[in-house]
Structure 1
Amino acid sequence: MQTSRNRPPRVLAIAEAANPEWVSVPLVGWSLAQALRDVADVHLVTQVRNRDAILRAGLVEGKDFTAIDSEAVARPLWALAEKLRMGEGKGWTTLQAINALIYPWFEHLVWKEFGPAIKAGAFDVVHRITPLSPTISSPIARKVHRVGVPFVLGPLNGGVPWPKHFDAERRAEKEWLSYIRSAYKHLPGRNTALKHASAIVVGSHHTQSEIPKAYQDKTVYIPENGIDPGRFNKIAKPTGDVLKACFVGRLVPYKGADMLIAAAADLLRSGRMTLDIIGDGPMLGDLIAQAKSLGCETGLKFHKWIDHSEVQTLLSKSHILSFPSIREFGGGVVLEAMALGVVPVIVDYAGPGELVTTQTGFKVPCGSRDEIIAGFHTIFERLAENPDALAPIAATAKARVDEYFLWSRKANQIRDVYEWTLDKRQADKPDIFAAGLRPISATMP
C-alpha cells in the first residue's frame, strides 16, 4: 500500500497493552503492531510497564516506540481492581470496568505527547489497537478527527453473553457486573468515539451487532487473534492408533475441563483415547478428584502450567484439541492448534464458533452441560474408530490459518482498512472473508 505521496502510511499505533513476553491481549497488541511494520511506517505508543520487554525485543525507544508513564493513576486503580475481582483470574467484567476509568488518562498523556505532531501532519493514520474491550472508549478519537487524520478503532471484542445454562459458572467466576454490562452503552464518550472513528475493526460478529446502526457502515470484521509462524512452526504428528486429545487453558469453570473429562471418561478407561490437560488454576484439585472418581486416570495427564513457547511441543503430539469452553471471546488456542494441524473440537459459541468451520473441525451446539458432554462424547467415539481419518481435516485447518490468520496476513487486512480510510471515494470497504471461507454455521459431524 502507498499513500498519495508514494510512501507507506505513517501510523501512530496506540497499544496500551503490547508485550512480547506476555500472552492474551498484550501479545495481540504487540504482534499486530509488529506485523504492521511490514506494510506501514509504525510508531508504537504503549504503557511503561511494557518498556523493558520491548527493549529486549530489539526496538529502539524514541525511534520505534514510546512508553507512556500513566502509573500515577493506573497503579492505585489496578490495586483496587485486584481486590474487587475476588480472586486471581476472576471478575473479568470488574477488571474492564476499572480499566475504563484508567485508560482515558493514558490517552490524555498520549495526546499531550503526540498531539502537536498529529496536528502537524506527521501521521497519516492513528490506530488504537488495544484495549480490545468495546466498553473502553477513546477520548482521543474526536481530537484526531478534528485535525483531519483518520482514526481506526479496534479490533474490538468481548462481552459475549453468558449461556443461559451456565449461571453457576458465571457466579463462580465472580462475574457480578456482567448482569449489568450493557450499561456501558450509555457511558459518556462511547458514541463519541464511534462517531469520530473512520473505521471500526470488530473481532466478532457479536461485537459487530453491538455497534449502533448509525456506525455499522464503518465496521470491518477481522478476528483479533493471529499466528506467528516463528512460534508455531511444528506439524502435528501423533503416533499410534489411539485418539490423542489435548486441552489448553486455565482450569476455571467456564473453560469446561470438567465437562471434557466427563465426556472422555469411557474412552480413557478403555484405552481408546488419551488426554493431556495443559494449564493450571483453582479447579485443578477438583479435576484430579473427578478423574479418580470416574476411574479414568489412566491415559489422562495433568501438565499444569508450562511456558507458552513449549505448548506447541505437547499440542503437536495430538490429533485433536478438545476445548469445551462456553464463553471464549477470541479463541487464540484454537488457531494455534489449527496452525499445527491439530483438529479442534469446540463448543459452537463466540470466538471458537466463528474460527472453526465444518471443513476445519467439529462443533457441538451450546446447550446444557449434559448436552455438551453428550455431544463431545459422540464425537470422541466416532473419531476414536479411525484417528488417521482426521488428516484431511487437519490439512484444511492449517490452510485456513495460513490464508487468513498469520500475523502477516492480518497486517495486510489492516492495511486495506487504512487504504479505505485514506481514500474512501476510491476504495471499497474491505470484506476480508468475502472471497473465501466465511464462518459457517455449525452442524454435528
Structure 2
Amino acid sequence: MISSITSRPRVLAIAEAANPEWVSVPLVGWSLAQALRDVADVHLVTQVRNRDAILRAGLIEGRDFTAIDSESVARPLWALAEKLRMGEGKGWTTLQAFNALIYPWFERLVWKEFGPAIKAGEYDIVHRITPLSPTITSPIASKVNRARVPFVLGPINGGVPWPKHFDAERRAEKEWLSYLRSAYKHLPGRHSTLKHASAIVVGSRHTQSEIPDAYQDKTLYIPENGIDPARFNQRATPNGDVLKASFVGRLVPYKGADMLIAASADLLRSGRMTLDIIGDGPMLGQLMAQAASLGCKKGLTFHKWIPHADVQSILSQSHILSFPSIREFGGGVVLEAMALGVVPVIVDYAGPGELVTADTGFKVPCGSRDEIIAAFGRTLTDLSDRLFGNPAALAPMAQAAKARVDEYFLWSRKAAQIKEVYEWTLGTKRAEKPDIFRAALRPVAATMP
C-alpha cells in the first residue's frame, strides 16, 4: 500500500553523537543528519555536549535541533569507563559496554521531550543515526512503533572479530571484553529494538550477518562513512617517479603502522619510496625506534597529530594510502584518500575490504603478521617499479577511485540512499526494498591488476 505522504518526510533524527568539530562517530552522526536536510525536514536530537559546536555551525536551537542533557548519568559513568579502559584509545569494547548502560537514559529523556509530538503524528519517521554500535539497544523503538510511526535504525556497524593471528594486538589494545562480545545478542532490549524497527540499516556485511534471520527482510546494507567535498576538495598531485605513500591513523597496534615500516624498509633505504605517517598515539616512540633500527629514517616522516582539516594537504601529495589496519569497522580514511585520487593499499578485511574494488585499489589477504608484511612488501615494490620512468602509471586507478566516491560516498549521495529507505518504509514511490549497493560493492579478488 502506498502512503499518502507525498511531500518531504518530517524526520526526528536521533544522533546522541553528532559534532561537526570532532571525528569518527560524532562526525558521521553530524554529517548524515545535515545531509538528510536536503531530502527531508529534519529535527536533530543530540546530547548536550555537542550543543556549542552545533551552534557555531549555524543551526538554531529549538528550530533545527534540541540538545538533551543526560550528564547526570553519563558523566560519572563515562569517567569510570575511562579509568577501566586502561589507557587512552584502548579498551573500545569496554567503552561500548558502558555506553550500553548510559544510552537508554538518553533515549528516556528523548521520549519525555518528544513522545507527545511523536504520538500526535508530528513526525513521519523517527531515525536513530547514532550510536553506530549494534550492541546498543533503543528502548524508544517499541514506543515509536506503538505510535504507528516508522522507526529506522542505523547505520549500525562494529564488532568485527579480531583476526586469529593477532591475539597479542588484541591484548595490547586492552580488549578483554571482546572475548565475550557475542553476549550482547542476549541483552535485554535487543530483540525488541530489532522487532520494532521498520528498517535496519547496517554498515558492513559482518554486521548484517549478526542480524537474526527473522529480521533480514527489513535489513539494508549501506556503509556508514561518507565524504564532505568541502573538507576533501584537493586533487592528488604527487610529483616524480618515486613512490610516495602515506599512512593516516592512530598509532596503536591494530592499525599496523609497524608492519608498514617493516614492509617498506628496503624501499625507503634505497630511496625508491617515501612514507608520511600522519597520526599520534602510544606506539610513536616504538615506531621511531623501529625506523632507526632498520636504517630507514631518511625517507620516513612522522607528522604526529595534525588537524583533520589539514590531513588532505599531505595526503594529496601521495600516490597511495598504505593502510595495513587489521580491524577497521568502517574505513573512513580509505574513502578520504579515494576522494582525493589517492590509491588505497589495504588489508582485505572488514570495512576497507568492502570499500575497495579491483579497479580502485590494491588488497592483500589478511593472514599472519609475517604474511601481511611480505604481501605489502611485494605490492609496494611492484608499485615502485611501475612508477619508475612512468609517473602517471597509477592515474587511471586514481581517477576510478575518485569516481567511485563521487558516485556512491558523498554525503549528498548517502542522503539520497537513506531517502530510498524512507520511501520504502513509508510506502511512498517504492514498494520493494532498495538494494543500493548490490552492484556497487560486489566482492572482488584480493589481487593486483
3-state SS of 1:246 partner: strand
Q: Distance in 2 between matches of 1:443 and 1:379?
A: 10
Q: Distance in 2 between matches of 1:427 and 1:49?
A: 40
Spell out, residue by residue over 1:258-283, the C-alpha distance to the aligned partner (whole angstroms, 9 max, x if none). 00000000000000000000000000
Match of 2:192 in 1: 192
Q: CA deviation at 1:71?
A: 0.2
Q: Distance in 1 between matches of 2:437 and 2:248?
A: 27
3-state SS of 2:329 partner: coil
3-state SS of 1:237 partner: coil
Match of 2:413 in 1: 409
Match of 2:36 in 1: 36
Are the equivalent residues in 1 in contact too, given 2:129–2:154 (CA < 8 A)? yes
Structure 1 pair 374–221 and aligned structure 2 pair: CA distance change class (3 A): same
2:13 alignment partner AA: A
Give yes or no for the alignment of 1:397 onto 2:401. yes
Q: Distance in 2 between matches of 1:113 and 1:132?
A: 22
Equivalent residue runs for 1:277-292 within 5 Å: 277-292=277-292
3-state SS of 1:297 partner: coil
Q: Distance in 1 between matches of 2:428 and 2:8?
A: 17
Equivalent residue runs for 1:40-119 within 5 Å: 40-119=40-119
Are the equivalent residues in 1 in contact too, given 2:15–2:131 (CA < 8 A)? yes
3-state SS of 1:162 partner: coil
Are the equivalent residues in 2 in contact too, given 1:107–1:138 (CA < 8 A)? yes
Q: CA deviation at 1:362?
A: 0.2
Match of 1:296 in 2: 296
Q: Distance in 1 between matches of 2:386 and 2:234?
A: 23
Q: CA deviation at 1:425?
A: 9.8
1:238 alignment partner AA: P
Q: CA deviation at 1:424?
A: 7.8
3-state SS of 2:394 partner: helix
Match of 1:237 in 2: 237
Structure 2 segments unaligned to the other structure (5+ residues): none
2:256 alignment partner AA: G
Q: Distance in 2 between matches of 1:380 and 1:264?
A: 7
Equivalent residue runs for 1:19-418 within 5 Å: 19-387=19-387, 388-418=392-422
1:226 alignment partner AA: G
1:390 alignment partner AA: L
Q: Distance in 1 between matches of 2:441 and 2:301?
A: 35
Match of 1:420 in 2: 424
1:400 alignment partner AA: R
Q: CA deviation at 1:439?
A: 4.2
1:413 alignment partner AA: Q
Are the equivalent residues in 2 in contact too, given 1:252–1:282 (CA < 8 A)? yes
| Deviates most, 384-393 or 363-372 | 384-393
3-state SS of 1:53 partner: helix
Q: Distance in 1 between matches of 2:334 and 2:296?
A: 25
Are the equivalent residues in 2 in contact too, given 1:358–1:442 (CA < 8 A)? yes
Q: Distance in 1 between matches of 2:429 and 2:37?
A: 26
Q: CA deviation at 1:3?
A: 6.9
1:262 alignment partner AA: A
Structure 1 pair 227–439 and aligned structure 2 pair: CA distance change class (3 A): farther
| Deviates most, 16-25 or 431-440 | 431-440
3-state SS of 1:136 partner: coil
2:442 to 435, 438, 445: 438
3-state SS of 2:149 partner: coil
| Segments of 4+ moved more than 6 angstroms | none
The alignment's C-alpha RMSD in Å is: 1.2
Are the equivalent residues in 1 in contact too, given 2:236–2:317 (CA < 8 A)? yes
TM-score (norm: length of structure 2): 0.97
3-state SS of 1:21 partner: coil
Q: Distance in 1 between matches of 2:429 and 2:225?
A: 30
Are the equivalent residues in 1 in contact too, given 2:423–2:429 (CA < 8 A)? no
Report sequence identity in percent.
Answer: 83
Q: Distance in 1 between matches of 2:308 and 2:89?
A: 17
3-state SS of 2:393 partner: helix
1:125 alignment partner AA: I
Match of 2:7 in 1: 7
3-state SS of 2:220 partner: strand
3-state SS of 1:386 partner: helix
Q: CA deviation at 1:427?
A: 1.6
1:280 alignment partner AA: D
1:207 alignment partner AA: T
Are the equivalent residues in 1 in contact too, given 2:245–2:321 (CA < 8 A)? yes
Q: CA deviation at 1:231?
A: 0.2
3-state SS of 1:389 partner: coil
Spell out, residue by residue over 1:41-86, the C-alpha distance to the aligned partner (whole angstroms, 9 max, x if none). 0000000000000000000000000000000000000001001100
Are the equivalent residues in 2 in contact too, given 1:238–1:319 (CA < 8 A)? yes
Q: CA deviation at 1:437?
A: 4.8
Q: CA deviation at 1:443?
A: 2.6
Q: CA deviation at 1:426?
A: 4.9
Q: CA deviation at 1:286?
A: 0.5
3-state SS of 1:127 partner: strand
Are the equivalent residues in 2 in contact too, given 1:3–1:9 (CA < 8 A)? no
Are the equivalent residues in 1 in contact too, given 2:348–2:363 (CA < 8 A)? yes
Q: Distance in 1 between matches of 2:182 and 2:440?
A: 34
Count of aligned residue pairs for this structure pair:
444
Are the equivalent residues in 1 in contact too, given 2:5–2:428 (CA < 8 A)? no
Are the equivalent residues in 2 in contact too, given 1:356–1:439 (CA < 8 A)? no
Spell out, residue by residue over 1:22-44, the C-alpha distance to the aligned partner (whole angstroms, 9 max, x if none). 00000000000000000000000
Q: Distance in 2 between matches of 1:439 and 1:393?
A: 18
Are the equivalent residues in 2 in contact too, given 1:355–1:439 (CA < 8 A)? no
